[in-house]
Amino acid sequence: IVYKIKNKNAFILIEHQSSVDLKMAYRIRCYKNAIIEESVDKKKLREKNYRIPKVIAIVLYTGRREWQNLLISD
């Protein structure tokens, strides 16, 4: 689920997960990049004060196994 924050250049990404996914950090990074790619204003990109949109990611895990905190580098 993706929400745009009203009057801000920012999004909230909510990912629901019911099982441990060892590639979750990679998936979230791909989702964030896709959101940014779709929302960048290419006409304003060359302006000095233009900012790339921020994406805040939240993973809601409801599984039974203990979640293992993994990094992209893993």
Instruction: Give pLDDT tens digits for 35-51.
Output: 999 998 888 888 888 89
Sheet architecture: strand order including 54-61? 2-4, 10-17, 54-61
Q: Where are the alpha helices (DSSP H) in the chain?
A: 24-39
Consecutive H or E run containing 13? strand 10-17
- Three-state DSSP class for residue 37: helix
Q: Is the pLDDT higher at 66 or at 31?
A: 31
In this predicted structure, what is the pLDDT of residue 65?
87
- In this prediction the pTM is 0.81
Return the closest-CA partner of residue 50 out of 58, 59, 39.
39
